[in-house]
């Protein structure tokens, strides 16, 4: 299980990446994340919406209501240019941390 | 039948109530809900189950709400306005309202509880301030934690503990022990020695003769002069600001000359120090180099051989050790050093830390007048205990009244419980109310403390202050006091009331007659009465002891004695005979008042010997220089032999001792035995009846009189003519000392000062005792009125059936009589223990006679019964129709 803090910190970059794959909506995003992570990243589901809302307010993503199967509406999100740039930044940060972390782990590998 | 659309609509309505979720958000959440439901149905659940499971995810809607709010808000905390801050329990404003309403409705009992609590907290606050003050003694020294004083005791039986060390010890320690950074010796000059400047002369002074490191070891700040060098010249003197003003007016004293000791000894002022703080155990106005000892004591003894004398302990010594030094190791090294230098020494030395001197010196012989009288830690504990008892009594008042009233509030509690309040909620409400009460009481207590402080300062003789700038320890103790009061008074009611079952509470089935309640209440009342009775008895004992001290026959007549200086040796006898010309002056004697011990003239036992002295005898004695008029001036009586007199010139070389000295020396027929004090040898010519030398705390010490007509003057005045006599003395004084100020004091005032600490402590205790009696009286009064109220109907019916008022009143109070009686008996035991312990500090004390206990007990009994009687009588006299009307 992933700690609360790490979960909170990783929400934004993961949403950005998923939306880079294409338009998506809340419920599906949650499902995809759960599948990809093999169930380790299990977001408390309705909590996603305030996060999406905040990212929308910051201009990282854009939303549009779409009619599906002529029955009801869903709100679809897609990445903006700003969001793309933000993703690059986030990626760079995560990679820096990851690289440092792995190098340190290698260094300690011999120590048992 | 489950309908999904209906269910979603209901869900939407419920969610829509939230203040931060907007319509668009809600639609999106709905879409999510539906996605989830469809998904779950696909997995094989039926519609209803799927909806329940999906809906369950929104159970934390409150948090979701807050999360949405946080997206919009610019609030720094992100806390939505409809949520109470986390540290305030929900419903707190309602509780607050109820508490205030309660106070408004029941003004009488609220006044009793808040007033009682406020009084008790005032007592506690004053005590806290006072204790803080006592603990602040000697805390202003920068090197404080590393400073120790050497204490000597007899090697044989560890008795006779005193603040002294051999004279050469200090410098030797500083030189040889690496742990000892600095050592400072202090020797005290006699009080009432003459110090003269060109403008003025003073006789009352405290002179400290010490080593040059004095001002760097201790932190007595200098206004002028360098602490490192100010005492390095052998003829230098440092004086306090006040002394400088008295001797030199507003001029700069540095570099000017002061004549010490009958004009014989000129010293140059090398520095001025700030007045010594009151919270210092050392009190002095003048500091001179220790070499002055040689001159100072010349009248009585040759001091020159003492600088290398290891065989006896003669002067106070203070050490500054390196931080963290191992005290037992240092003590052992000191012991070895003493062993090397004085193999036959009959004393052993130990270290006492500076911070313990003020409160932990009860077993150390009363020191010199240069030291503020130490306070016994017992005294501090006694006060702390009293403050605690007073607070306890007030808390019990609250508990009792609150318990009684909470039964009347059973409906409120029932409703709260039905509306979903948990036991914890109710308990919290009651504790909260107690907190409201104790906070209000704290406000009252702060106001009354500020108002009472000047009075308390003057009766306690301490400069207490409660500053407006909050100090952390004080603020903490205030908060602590409030919290403790709240918990002590509110905890039990909170626990009991919260356990009510709502059904019974609403049906008003709660009975005040439940046995456990009654027992508990009885117990609390008993504790309260025990507390008040203990305080009353202890207060009475202290009062009687104080009166005993003030009126005890001291062995001399202390009334109408004026003490002043003398012009100089040549003119001494002319001055005395001129004084006697005035009819208001009955006699004039040379010699200081007999309060010798308090003046610090104690001679070590090793300097005294007599015919037939056994080698291990060690009798330190107080000594005084007097003339032949002394006995008659002070109206003392002889037990055997005769006093000095001009008719027997040979006697003038002799000694007069007191009865204690005879006993201590083990002499059966003392008259005519030879006696030696330092290097003066003579015969014992008389034995004077014992008289009190110091305070009544100390046993009368052995004392010896020497003849010498040249010291301060004691004048017995005719009480009918005192102002004229003083004018005559002043005129005579001016004739001999035209340019010098005339200074004098009355013996009685000086004695008062000597007993001051005890008298002041006694007065404070009396005030506290009365306060606590008032508080517990209030509480009992409130409680009895409640009982009477509870039994209104019973009383009404009894009256209709023909009961008499008197009989009813007796019936109502019968239960209390037994209770109060029992409590008083218990109080006797407790107060006997406390009072006898306190009295043990006095060598001369009143017996703890039964009538003090009986009297104080009767007083408490009568007061409680009177309070009860009034209430019971009123209840019994009420019109029965009024009582039964509502049936």
pLDDT score for B304 = 65
pLDDT at A23 over 80: yes
pLDDT score for B691 = 84
Q: Tell me the H-state helices in B605-671.
A: 630-634, 659-665
Q: Per DSSP, what are the bridge partners of residue B624?
A: B705
pLDDT tens track for B4-15 = 888 888 888 877
pLDDT tens track for B762-791 = 777 777 777 777 777 777 776 666 666 667
Which element (helix H / strand E) includes B609? Answer: strand B608-610
Instruction: Give the range with max mean pLDDT: A88-102, B156-170, B219-233, B862-876.
Output: A88-102
Q: Which of A27, A50, A53 sits opposite B35 (nearest CB)?
A: A27
Between B19 and B886, the more confident residue is: B19
Taking the C-alpha atoms of residue B655 and residue B350, their distance in angstroms, rounded to an integer, is 35
Is residue B152 less than 8 Å (CB to CB) from chain A?
no
Taking the C-alpha atoms of residue B337 and residue B761, their distance in angstroms, rounded to an integer, is 43
Taking the C-alpha atoms of residue A94 and residue B456, their distance in angstroms, rounded to an integer, is 69
pLDDT tens track for B43-55 = 888 888 888 888 7
Closest CA–CA distance from residue A87 to any residue of chain B (Å) = 21
Taking the C-alpha atoms of residue B795 and residue B789, their distance in angstroms, rounded to an integer, is 10
Average pLDDT, chain B: 78
pLDDT at B211 over 60: yes
- pLDDT average, residue stretch B631-651: 84
Is residue B12 less than 8 Å (CB to CB) from chain A?
no
Closest CA–CA distance from residue A52 to any residue of chain B (Å) = 10
pLDDT score for B597 = 46
Taking the C-alpha atoms of residue B513 and residue B475, their distance in angstroms, rounded to an integer, is 43
pLDDT at A34 over 50: yes
Q: Which of A59, A67, A57, A58 is nearest to A25 (CA)?
A: A67
Cβ B765 vs Cβ B852: under 8 Å: no
Question: pTM to 2 decimals?
Answer: 0.65
Instruction: Give the range with max mean pLDDT: B135-144, B383-392, B612-621, B792-801.
Output: B135-144
pLDDT at B513 over 70: no
Mutating which of B23, B27, B71 best tests the A interface, going by the most A Cβ atoms within 10 A?
B71
Look at B71 and A53 and tell me if their CB atoms are within 8 Å. yes
- pLDDT average, residue stretch A50-72: 83
Question: B810 is written with which tokens?
Answer: 């007796």
Is residue B34 less than 8 Å (CB to CB) from chain A?
yes
Q: Return the CA Rg of chain A.
A: 17
pLDDT score for B788 = 67
- Per DSSP bridges, beta strands B674-677 and B638-641 are unpaired
- Per DSSP bridges, beta strands B286-289 and B207-210 are parallel
Residue A59 Ramachandran class (φ > 0 left, ψ -120 to 50 alpha, else beta): left
Q: Which of B415, B397, B432 is nearest to B500 (CA)?
A: B415
Look at B32 and A50 and tell me if their CB atoms are within 8 Å. no
pLDDT score for B420 = 73
Q: Which residues contact A47 (CB under 8 A, 6 or more apart)?
A: B64, B67
Taking the C-alpha atoms of residue B20 and residue B70, their distance in angstroms, rounded to an integer, is 9
Is residue B39 less than 8 Å (CB to CB) from chain A?
yes
Question: B444 is written with which tokens?
Answer: 């009252």
pLDDT tens track for B137-195 = 888 888 888 889 888 887 766 666 778 888 888 888 888 888 888 888 887 765 556 77
pLDDT at B598 over 50: no
Is residue B9 less than 8 Å (CB to CB) from chain A?
no
pLDDT score for B602 = 62
pLDDT at B86 over 70: no
Q: Which of B32, B30, B21 is nearest to B64 (CA)?
A: B21
- pLDDT average, residue stretch B317-337: 86
Taking the C-alpha atoms of residue B335 and residue B332, their distance in angstroms, rounded to an integer, is 5
pLDDT score for B467 = 58
Look at A73 and B57 and tell me if their CB atoms are within 8 Å. no
pLDDT at A44 over 70: no
Q: Which residues contact B441 (CB under 8 A, 6 or more apart)?
A: B114, B117, B118, B120, B121, B485
- pLDDT average, residue stretch B358-362: 77
Taking the C-alpha atoms of residue B236 and residue B255, their distance in angstroms, rounded to an integer, is 9
How would you label B9-28 residue by residue, b for 16+ Cβ within 10 Å and e otherwise? Answer: eebeeebeebebbeeebebb
Residue count of chain A, please give it: 112
Cβ B223 vs Cβ B159: under 8 Å: no
Look at A28 and B35 and tell me if their CB atoms are within 8 Å. yes
- pLDDT average, residue stretch B839-845: 78
Q: Which of B208, B510, B177, B163 is nearest to B338 (CA)?
A: B177
How far from B21 is each of B13, B42, B247, CA to CA, in Å? 12, 29, 84
CA B330, B333, B339, B340 torsion-angle sign: negative
* Chain A residue closest in CA terms to B61: A46
* Chain B residue closest in CA terms to A31: B36
Taking the C-alpha atoms of residue B875 and residue B809, their distance in angstroms, rounded to an integer, is 8
* Chain A residue closest in CA terms to B25: A49
Taking the C-alpha atoms of residue B729 and residue B579, their distance in angstroms, rounded to an integer, is 6
Question: B621 is written with which tokens?
Answer: 């004695």
Which of A57-61, B26-30, B67-71, B834-838 comes out lowest in average pLDDT?
A: B67-71
Look at A27 and B27 and tell me if their CB atoms are within 8 Å. no
Q: Which of A103, A3, A12, A109 is nearest to A61 (CA)?
A: A12
Count of CB atoms within 10 A of residue B637's CB?
11
pLDDT at B564 over 70: yes
Is residue B36 less than 8 Å (CB to CB) from chain A?
yes
Q: Transcribe B352-400 into DSSP letters.
A: EEGGGTTTS-TTSPP--TTBPPP--HHHHHHHHHHHHHHHHHHHHHHHH
Cβ A80 vs Cβ A19: under 8 Å: no
pLDDT tens track for B654-709 = 888 888 888 888 888 888 888 887 778 888 888 888 888 766 667 787 888 888 77
Taking the C-alpha atoms of residue B878 and residue B788, their distance in angstroms, rounded to an integer, is 11
- pLDDT average, residue stretch B245-255: 82
Q: Which residues contact B761 (CB under 8 A, 6 or more apart)?
A: B379, B383, B460, B542
Which element (helix H / strand E) includes B717? Answer: strand B713-717
pLDDT score for B145 = 87
Look at B27 and A75 and tell me if their CB atoms are within 8 Å. yes
For residue A56, the SS3 value is: helix
Q: Which of A47, A54, A74 sits opposite B31 (nearest CB)?
A: A74
Look at A73 and B27 and tell me if their CB atoms are within 8 Å. yes
Question: B449 is written with which tokens?
Answer: 């403390």
Q: Which residues contact B60 (CB under 8 A, 6 or more apart)?
A: none
pLDDT at B748 over 70: yes
Count of CB atoms within 10 A of residue A8's CB?
12
Closest CA–CA distance from residue B34 to any residue of chain A (Å) = 10
For residue B49, the SS3 value is: helix
Look at B68 and A50 and tell me if their CB atoms are within 8 Å. yes
Question: B777 is written with which tokens?
Answer: 């009286």
* Chain B residue closest in CA terms to A72: B31
pLDDT score for B600 = 47
* Chain A residue closest in CA terms to B65: A50
Look at B32 and A54 and tell me if their CB atoms are within 8 Å. no
Instruction: Give the distance from CA B757 to its chain's centroid.
Output: 10
Is residue B14 less than 8 Å (CB to CB) from chain A?
no
- pLDDT average, residue stretch B415-440: 79
Look at B27 and A28 and tell me if their CB atoms are within 8 Å. no
Q: How confident is the model at residue B470 (pLDDT cuts 50, 70, 90)?
A: low
Question: B27 is written with which tokens?
Answer: 């639609």
Taking the C-alpha atoms of residue B655 and residue B684, their distance in angstroms, rounded to an integer, is 5
* Chain B residue closest in CA terms to A65: B28
């Amino acid at each position: 299980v992933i700690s609360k803090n790490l979960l909170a910190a990783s929400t934004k970059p993961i949403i950005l990446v998923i939306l880079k794959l294409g338009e998506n909506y809340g419920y599906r995003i949650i499902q995809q994340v759960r599948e990809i992570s093999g169930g380790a990243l299990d977001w408390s589901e309705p909590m996603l919406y305030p996060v999406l809302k905040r990212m929308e307010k910051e201009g990282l993503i854009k939303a549009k209501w779409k009619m599906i199967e002529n029955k009801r509406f869903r709100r679809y999100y897609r990445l903006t240019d700003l969001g793309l740039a933000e993703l690059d930044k986030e990626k760079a940060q995560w990679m820096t941390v990851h690289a440092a972390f792995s190098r340190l782990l290698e260094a300690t590998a011999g120590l048992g | 039948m489950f309908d999904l659309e209906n269910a979603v609509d209901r869900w939407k309505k419920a969610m829509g109530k939230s203040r931060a979720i907007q319509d668009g958000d809600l639609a999106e959440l709905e879409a999510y809900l539906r996605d989830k439901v469809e998904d779950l149905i696909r997995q094989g659940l039926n519609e209803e189950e799927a909806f329940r499971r999906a809906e369950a995810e929104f159970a934390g809607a409150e948090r979701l709400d807050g999360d949405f709010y946080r997206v919009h808000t610019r609030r720094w905390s992100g806390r939505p306005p409809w949520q109470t801050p986390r540290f305030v329990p929900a419903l707190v404003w309602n509780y607050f309202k109820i508490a205030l309403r309660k106070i408004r409705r029941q003004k009488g009992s609220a006044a009793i509880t808040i007033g009682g609590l406020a009084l008790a907290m005032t007592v506690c606050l004053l005590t806290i301030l006072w204790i803080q003050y006592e603990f602040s003694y000697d805390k202003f020294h920068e090197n404080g934690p590393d400073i120790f004083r050497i204490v000597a005791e007899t090697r044989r039986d560890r008795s006779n503990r005193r603040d002294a060390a051999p004279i050469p010890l200090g410098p030797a320690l500083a030189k040889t022990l690496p742990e000892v950074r600095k050592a400072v010796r202090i020797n005290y000059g006699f009080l009432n020695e003459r110090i003269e400047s060109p403008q003025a002369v003073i006789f009352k002074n405290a002179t400290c003769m010490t080593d040059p490191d004095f001002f760097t070891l201790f932190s007595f700040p200098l206004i002028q002069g360098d602490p490192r060098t100010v005492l390095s010249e052998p003829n230098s003197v440092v004086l306090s600001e006040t002394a400088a003003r008295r001797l030199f007016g507003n001029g700069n004293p540095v570099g000017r000359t002061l004549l010490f000791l009958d004009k014989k000894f000129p010293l140059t002022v090398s520095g001025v120090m700030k007045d010594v703080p009151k919270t210092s155990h050392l009190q002095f106005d003048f500091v001179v180099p220790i070499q002055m000892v040689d001159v100072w004591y010349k009248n009585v003894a040759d001091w020159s051989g003492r600088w290398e004398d290891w065989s006896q302990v003669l002067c106070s010594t203070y050490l500054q050790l390196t931080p963290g030094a191992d005290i037992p190791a240092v003590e052992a090294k000191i012991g070895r050093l003493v062993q090397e230098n004085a193999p036959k020494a009959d004393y052993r030395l130990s270290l006492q830390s500076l911070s313990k001197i003020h409160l932990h010196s009860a077993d150390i012989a009363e020191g010199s007048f240069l030291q503020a009288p130490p306070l016994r830690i017992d005294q501090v504990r006694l006060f702390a205990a009293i403050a605690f008892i007073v607070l306890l009594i007030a808390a019990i008042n609250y508990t009792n009244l609150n318990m009684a009233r909470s039964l009347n509030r059973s409906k409120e509690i029932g409703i709260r419980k039905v509306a979903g309040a948990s036991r914890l909620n109710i308990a919290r409400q009651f504790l909260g109310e107690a907190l409201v009460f104790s906070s209000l009481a704290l406000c009252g207590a702060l106001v009354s403390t500020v108002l009472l402080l000047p009075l308390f300062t003057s009766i306690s003789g301490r400069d207490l202050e409660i500053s407006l700038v909050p100090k952390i320890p004080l603020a903490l103790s205030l908060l602590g006091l409030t919290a403790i009061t709240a918990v002590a008074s509110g905890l039990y009611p909170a626990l009991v009331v919260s356990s009510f079952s709502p059904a019974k509470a609403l049906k008003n089935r709660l009975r005040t007659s439940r046995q456990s309640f009654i027992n508990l209440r009885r117990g609390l009342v008993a504790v309260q009465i025990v507390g008040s009775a203990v305080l009353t008895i202890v207060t009475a004992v202290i009062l009687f002891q104080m009166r005993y001290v003030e009126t005890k026959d001291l062995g001399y007549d202390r009334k109408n004695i004026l003490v002043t200086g003398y012009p100089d040796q040549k003119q001494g006898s002319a001055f005395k005979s001129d004084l006697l010309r005035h009819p208001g002056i009955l006699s004039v004697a040379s010699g200081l008042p007999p309060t010798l011990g308090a003046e610090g003239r104690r001679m070590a036992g090793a300097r005294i010997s007599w015919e037939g002295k056994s080698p291990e005898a060690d009798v330190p004695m107080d000594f005084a220089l007097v003339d032949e008029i002394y006995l008659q001036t002070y109206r003392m009586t002889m037990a055997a032999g005769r006093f000095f007199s001009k008719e027997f010139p040979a006697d003038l070389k002799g000694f007069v001792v007191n009865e204690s000295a005879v006993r201590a020396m083990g002499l059966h027929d003392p008259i005519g035995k030879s006696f030696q004090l330092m290097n003066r040898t003579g015969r014992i010519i008389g034995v004077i009846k014992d008289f009190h030398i110091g305070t009544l705390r100390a046993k009368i010490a052995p004392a010896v009189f020497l003849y010498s007509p040249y010291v301060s003057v004691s004048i017995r005045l005719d009480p009918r003519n005192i102002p004229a006599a003083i004018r005559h003395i002043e005129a005579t004084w001016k004739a001999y000392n035209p340019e010098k100020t005339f200074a004098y004091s009355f013996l009685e005032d000086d004695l008062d000062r000597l007993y001051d600490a005890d008298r002041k402590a006694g007065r404070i205790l009396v005030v506290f005792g009365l306060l606590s009696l008032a508080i517990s009286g209030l509480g009992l009064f409130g409680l009895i009125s409640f009982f009477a109220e509870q039994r209104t109907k019973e009383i009404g019916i009894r009256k209709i059936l023909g009961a008499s008022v008197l009989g009813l009143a007796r019936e109502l109070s019968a239960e209390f009589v037994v209770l109060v009686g029992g409590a008083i008996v218990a109080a006797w035991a407790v107060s006997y223990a406390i009072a006898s312990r306190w009295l043990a500090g006095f060598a001369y004390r009143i017996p703890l006679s039964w009538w003090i206990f009986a009297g104080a007990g009767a007083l408490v009994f009568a007061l409680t019964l009177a309070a009860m009687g009034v209430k019971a009588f009123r209840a019994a006299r009420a019109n029965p129709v009024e009582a039964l009307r509502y049936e």
